[in-house]
Chains A and B, each alone.
Chain A
Amino acid sequence: MKAINLFAATVLIGFCLLIPKLVYADGIVVDKVYHPYVLPFERELEWRLVSHQTDSGNILAQRVGLGGAINDTMALEGYIVGERDDNGDFGLQAYELELRWQLIEQGRLWADWGALFEFEKQHDADAYEATSGFVIEKEFGRASLTMNAFLVYEWGQDIENEWESEFRAQYRYRYLSAFQPAVEVYLGEDFVGIGPGFIGLHRFDGQKQLKWEAGFITEISQSEKNHSFRMALEFEF
């Protein structure tokens, strides 16, 4: 049984790592790295910010989301996404629905597995995007390695129909619960980013907790300036 699990895991990870080599994602690849855990009865309010800076300008994207667990292993969250482009106009850009599914109980196998499904529709345009993929996390003593591999399909009248893929990884050291330094890697179309960051959390009474994370990612496959800063705040209640 254990050998089959190991084999399946190796095949899946290999598949996840291969996807970015077959197809790539354009746009902003830097976003949060998902963890494969869902708490029953959890409800959360989330705010995320990504600032992408190149020599030609700066794109700022913010999203606010509200969601909760719909059963013991799945959580559904809805977001509205706003973006400020190079011209300085900030406006509503898209709506998003996200389903996080914890596939295996934490600690049962050699790694924790989850799946993610997303559906996004642009506000002013006939453009849709669907994402599906795997989320894996493994502990190594006081460090944790988290990997996300996603397959994305974009379609609609206003954009090209295409397949894309993304890979994200986060290696963090659980130094203190409030400050866990991490290094993150993002792979996508013409984008190989790496950078430091940190995540932290603070528990209040009961199930209430506040999580924060920030990361500064540098693009290394091209020689010009290209960096992204991301920040996320999540309040679970």
Chain B
Amino acid sequence: MLITSLVMSLNQLLPVAILLILLQVVAKQSLMKLLGGLILGIGLSFLFVKSAPLISPLFDYQGLEYAQIGLCILIFISALYYAIKQATAAFMIAIISVMTLYLSHYIIYLIGFWQNNEAAQSLFIGTFLGLGICSSFSVLLYFLLSATKQRFGLTPLLVLLALNSAAKLVVALDLASQIDLIATTVTVWDLRDILTENSEFGRVLRALIGYEATPNLTSVLSYALSSVLFLSVCYFIPKLITKEKS
């Protein structure tokens, strides 16, 4: 139970931590705003879990999937806006959305298994340790990305952010095909022999840039198009603004 809750908390915290660090390195937000965003995110995650019985029956029992698709799209748009304008509101929306999307899974797990008193202690310790390990990973990633920014400028970071955001749209597509909203196409390639998503490195790569060992054609195309779109907008919009000003 301790190991399961540790691994689970780590798996759900990782995508949140990675997006947070990416946005922070692109443009730093003050500690107060960061903490504010985290607290709001945890609050909204709890709210989302509590209102799941209300949301779930909507849209022919597909309410939760629609909500999650909405969150994914929101993350993409707010990350893109932040990359161009560095607005605090975009930062907050991105962080709160990603926390609601991922932490809700973990909160359901906690609430579901909390009733058992013996499990409660292991759950608490496992969560605490998972937070510690994730914090450690986040600090190391922050320094690595900051050093990259200093050495190579903003471009590699924007590429990572573009891939990370495009991955969220692929998650939205997977959810949509899960509820038969769109047609899925067959698997394009199978990289499970080289790197499975179930391995730890696979999971980190999945959380970072949306690595998928068995993607379908729609996902691949969507991923490629969205990341190119993201980077193009990041490149052209600031140029348009400076052109207008001059």
Contacts and interface: CB of A to CB of B under 8 A. Distances in A.
Interface SS of A by simple majority: strand
Contact of B136 (A198, A220, A229): A198
Contact of B199 (A182, A183, A223): A223
Contacts of B143: 173
A181 B3 contact: no
A68 interface: no
Interface in A216-234: 216, 218, 220, 223-227, 229, 231
B200 A195 contact: yes
A225 B133 contact: no
A206 B133 CA distance: 30
B4 to A, nearest CB: 10
Contact of B133 (A58, A173, A216): A216
B196 A196 contact: no
Contacts of A218: 199-201
Interface string B193-205: 1111011110000
B206 to A, nearest CB: 13
B132 A225 contact: no
A224 B133 CA distance: 22
Given A214-B133, A216-B10, A196 B3 contact: no
Contacts of B194: 223
B133 A196 contact: yes
Given A173-B139, A197-B133, A198-B132, A227 B195 contact: no
A183 B136 CA distance: 8
Interface in B96-142: 129, 132-133, 135-137, 139-140
B6 interface: yes
Contacts of A181: 135-137, 139-140
A1 B165 CA distance: 57
B11 to A, nearest CB: 11
Contacts of A175: 139
Contacts of A225: 196, 198-200
Interface residues of B, number: 22
Contacts of A53: 3, 7
Nearest to A195: B200
A51 interface: yes
A182 B198 CA distance: 24
A198 B193 contact: no
A215 interface: yes
Interface SS of B by simple majority: helix
A193 to B, nearest CB: 10
Interface in A182-206: 182-183, 195-198
A231 B195 contact: no
Contacts of B6: 216, 229
Contacts of A237: none
B139 A223 contact: no
Contacts of A215: 133
Contacts of B133: 196-198, 214-216
Interface in B9-32: 10
Given A215-B133, A229-B3, A183 B196 contact: no
A46 B6 CA distance: 22
Contact of A197 (B136, B192, B196): B136
B2 to A, nearest CB: 8
A58 B143 CA distance: 33
A183 B132 contact: no
Contacts of B195: 223
B123 to A, nearest CB: 15
Given A216-B10, A229-B6, A196 B200 contact: no
16 contacts: A51-B3, A53-B7, A173-B140, A182-B136, A198-B135, A214-B129, A214-B132, A215-B133, A216-B200, A223-B192, A223-B193, A223-B194, A225-B196, A227-B200, A229-B129, A231-B129
Q: What 7 A-B pairs come out closest when comparing CB atoms?
A: A218-B200, A181-B136, A196-B137, A181-B139, A198-B136, A196-B136, A216-B133
Given A173-B143, A197-B133, A227-B7, 13 more contacts: A53-B3, A53-B7, A183-B140, A214-B129, A215-B133, A216-B133, A223-B194, A223-B195, A224-B199, A225-B198, A225-B200, A229-B6, A229-B129
